[in-house]
């Protein structure tokens, strides 16, 4: 699932959770289900961000990929 769709899903679940919590006749089972889905979606988003950060931070730069000359005085 592309990131944008996941972000949209998180927003939608937040809206549903708010509506369920503020309804005149709240159904705790329904709210619990929405919150579990929201927790799962947020966890997925965090994992995606973690993987993206790891790829960016651990990616060797051009300078790191080439051998360095020995700079010792001698």
Both structure tokens of 26: 């709240």
In this prediction, residue 26 carries a pLDDT of 79
Q: What is the number of other CB atoms lying within 10 angstroms of the CB of residue 34?
A: 21
Cα–Cα–Cα angle for 55, 44, 22, rounded to 5 degrees: 145
Residue 1: predicted pLDDT: 46
Cβ(35)–Cβ(45) under 8 Å? no
pLDDT tens, the chain, 74 aa long: 456 899 999 999 999 999 999 998 878 899 999 999 999 999 999 999 999 999 999 987 666 555 555 555 54
């Amino acid at each position: 699932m592309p990131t944008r769709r996941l972000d949209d899903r998180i927003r939608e679940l937040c809206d549903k959770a708010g509506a369920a919590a503020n309804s005149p006749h709240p159904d705790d089972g329904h709210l619990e289900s929405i919150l579990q889905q929201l927790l799962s979606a947020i966890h997925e988003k965090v994992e995606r961000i973690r993987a993206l950060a790891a790829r960016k931070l651990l990616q060797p730069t051009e300078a790191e990929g080439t051998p360095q000359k020995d700079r010792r005085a001698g």
